[in-house]
A and B are shown apart, each in its own frame.
Chain A
């Protein structure tokens, strides 16, 4: 009996795109399984969009190969794109076309338009398709791009920073849509530079730095990477639990200035909450560091001039 092995939704084999001067993508080996939500994380210029364009067959690799459902994304580009929904990093200009016409135009290229799905997506994101593209705000343009990527219910979604420009409510709606799409059997590959976003929606995360994949992590591992800068203000006259804070695992760089404490929280907040339990806290501010700062602390990268020491 012949046992058919599951073909990877995405496979990159020593995939390289060299733009010169150290820019591009180098020796990417990656595999994404069907029905997986894979996040591609990296700061600006790390090579996320280059990877996505290579997967879409829009640019040609310098060496190596990119495969989607076992098909060569360059040679079999048309067949690949039949099975893929794509959301580009920058929504292109459609000038005076109405949203409904953009949908019909690009949907027409696929041969048919799944009208109920289009309607459901437009309603879900409260997108008026009767407006002209040039009248759309940047958020509405992004919503239209989401409709275009999801409207034919593809097996694989390749999304380049899909939540950029969306307000928080629509971001939540988008995360819910991702969940439903994955539950319906689709594979999702998305790029982001927001750690909490990929942590929220992805099963696995690839971390890209200067064109090279530095880590592929499961969600649990990602939580160890996660760092928050916290500032806690205690009520005037109340006791600051300094010794408990300093002895709590996962809290680092604890500094006390009067009734204000600052520290870094690595991973879970449980330890911090336990340490301050019973104290009168008047204010607590938690800030997620930028990816640049995260890379500096986690991967011990050289510090750019723009960042404070």
Chain B
């Protein structure tokens, strides 16, 4: 019991953050439905049709919605489905944080020294995360209930409870699988291995909706079982397998993870890769890159840069491969033909790629900036910044170098993914303007810099809170873009969203005003972060 409470205490910020996120997401989507779709059957039917069109473009991420002309169907699609992805990310961070992060910090050692057995520790943390998921899912349900109340309607309780329970089931399955994967690798590689496992399972299911050859493997993915049910909309259904299989996976994976934890040494992976004989050295490394500003930062992050580049390139290739399929699906819907006629004459593919690949690329580049901010904050809180500033470098120089590293990394990743997009499109017979591809890929860099600028300021002001705050800023920026039109917010408020400023460069080219605004926001963040960094105490 003490272990369970201690685990909950350690993850209190995660529980608070994700519960708030879930509450806001479902509430905003519910209220948004009433704002856009209105209360007349005709208005809602038209809205449902437009949602079906959107869903066809997003088929690689989310399953097609059921009754999107109803608030329940819409929120199931736009609220609960994204929450599955967010909860999977939370599960990944939480499981690897416990399995290896707490171990590196010595927390696990203390717990074991206090007489807690390894299986009990694993079980208590898994149970703790299950409780955390229950709280966050209940918050999602509460957001929906409050939103529906503002629309003067009522909620069908059984459907909502089933939807919330399914979120818990898929979340705990992801947690257990990530926990198991984290036992196998070194502390450094554990998050990557666990993340790769969850990504593969997610893609196996989502791409399986499009590619027939993958559909036979969907049963392996816990995300597949979540999709067996759509309990919220009218006429919805609840498949008990969707609940039982993820729970069984969670129990089995947690048990195997506990066994692996028993068998391995603390701090070591279960599977040790053979390494060559160790060579003792008393010298500083000869690699000259360590002496060159910016390059030393890139060199230190070289594996991450490689992984980001490869991942984005793979995404580009996958989305190009999907585009043809998506377009075929769109063209097969007679109701959409008038809508699609706008894009005839070679504009359809850029439109689809722009709305699918570049939407995902925006999210990925926002995530890239956030990971850099997390790194800056960690350098500050673990004392590395203090040591760096004991060298003859200025504080402004440190801030500028950090940002320069991100700029160069962003350019490299954007270039690799842009080249892959061009090449894959050419191979698939999709005619894309090279200039537009270059422009759209390049726009991802200032887009990421908006978040990096804000993150740099937050990291300079309060490094311990920076990661949560920049995450909230990114979420607010996303919501701003989503809601500005719905709530008819002033244009300048909409312009504050980097997601809005990015625009549709593959389809319409770069909007110079938006580009200038993005650069202005990034520079404002950078400049103010230098000022704040000059004034603050480091290491205190």
A contact residues around B187 at 8 Å (CB)? 134
Query: Looking across the interface, which residue of chain A has its beta carbon closest to that of B384?
Result: A92
Stretch of A96-104, A171-179, A233-241 at the chain-chain interface: A96-104
Known: A108-B291, A113-B284. A77 touches B394 (CB 8 A): yes
Q: Which residues of B contact A82 (CB under 8 A)?
A: 392
Interface size class of B (residues with CB under 8 A): 35 or more
Which one, A50, A58, A129, contacts B386 given CB within 8 A? A58
- Interface residue from A59, A90, A101, A108 paired with B292 (Cβ < 8 Å): A108
What residue of chain A has the Cβ atom nearest to residue B537's Cβ? A59
Q: Is the CB of A88 within 8 A of B388?
A: no
CB atoms of B384 and A100 under 8 A apart: no
> Nearest 10 CB-CB pairs, A to B?
A92-B383, A108-B291, A59-B537, A130-B281, A86-B390, A122-B282, A104-B290, A109-B391, A92-B384, A103-B284
Assembly CA distance A119 to B283 (angstroms): 5
Specify which chain B residues have a CB less than 8 angstroms from the CB of A84 in the assembled complex: 390
Is B539 an interface position by the 8 A CB rule?
Answer: yes
In the assembled complex, A46 has its CB within 8 A of some CB on chain B: no
Q: Specify which chain A residues have a CB less than 8 angstroms from the CB of B491 in the assembled complex.
A: none
B345 at the interface (CB under 8 A from A): no
Chain A residues with CB below 8 A from B292, complex form: 108
Per-residue B-contact encoding for A95-139, CB less than 8 Å = 1, 0 else = 111101101111111111101001100110001111100100000
Considering the complex, give the chain B residue whose CB is closest to the CB of A121. Answer: B282
User: Given the complex, which residues of A lie within 8 Å of B538, measured CB to CB?
Assistant: 53, 58-59
Interface contacts (Cβ under 8 Å), in number, total 124
Interface check A180, CB cutoff 8 A: no
Determine if B109 is an interface residue (Cβ-Cβ < 8 Å). no
Interface string of B511-540 (1 = CB under 8 A from A): 000000000000000000000000101111
Q: Which of B279, B391, B539 contacts A106 (CB 8 A)?
A: B391
B188 at the interface (CB under 8 A from A): yes
Beyond A58-B539, A104-B285, A110-B392, list 16 extra A-B contacts (CB 8 Å): A53-B538, A58-B538, A59-B540, A77-B389, A78-B392, A88-B383, A88-B539, A92-B384, A92-B387, A96-B188, A107-B291, A109-B388, A109-B391, A109-B392, A111-B291, A122-B283
Set of chain B residues within 8 Å of A113, measured between Cβ atoms? 284, 291
CB distance A101 to B281 under 8 Å?
A: no
A86 CA to B386 CA, complexed, in Å: 10
For this complex, 24 residue pairs linking A to B, each with C-beta atoms less than 8 Å apart, are A53-B537, A53-B538, A53-B540, A56-B390, A58-B386, A77-B389, A81-B391, A101-B287, A101-B290, A103-B284, A103-B285, A104-B284, A104-B285, A104-B287, A105-B296, A105-B300, A110-B392, A111-B291, A115-B284, A128-B280, A129-B281, A130-B279, A131-B278, A134-B188
Tell me the complex Cα distance, A15–B29, Å.
56
Q: Which chain B residues lie closer than 8 Å to A115 at the CB level?
A: 283-284
What residues on A are CB-neighbors of B188 within 8 Å?
A: 95-96, 134
> Do residues B281 and A106 form an inter-chain contact, with CB atoms below 8 A?
no
Which residues of the other chain, A, contact B540 by a CB distance below 8 angstroms? 19, 50, 53, 58-59
Cβ-based interface call for B393 (8 A): yes
B102 at the A interface (CB under 8 A): no
Q: How large is the interface on A (under 10, 10 to 19, 20 to 34, 35 or more residues)?
A: 35 or more
Kindly list chain B residues whose C-beta atoms are within 8 Å of the C-beta of A148.
387
Q: Is A94's CB within 8 Å of the partner chain B?
A: yes
> What is the 8 Å Cβ interface bit string for chain B, positions 72-94, against chain A (1 contact, 0 not)?
00000000000000000000000
B265 contacts A by Cβ under 8 Å: no
**Which A residues are CB-close (under 8 A) to B280?**
128, 130
A58, B537: Cβ atoms closer than 8 Å: yes
Residues of B within 8 A of A88 (CB): 383, 386-387, 390, 539
A91 close to B (CB within 8 Å)? yes
Give residues of chain A (116-168) contacting chain B, Cβ–Cβ below 8 Å. Answer: 118-119, 122-123, 127-131, 134, 148
Say whether B390 contacts A81, CB under 8 Å: yes
Bound: A123/B280 CA distance, A: 11
Once the chains are docked, how many angstroms separate the CA of A90 from the CA of B540?
12
A93 within 8 A of B: yes
Smallest CB–CB gap between A75 and chain B, Å? Answer: 11
State whether the Cβ of B212 lies closer than 8 Å to any Cβ in chain A.
no
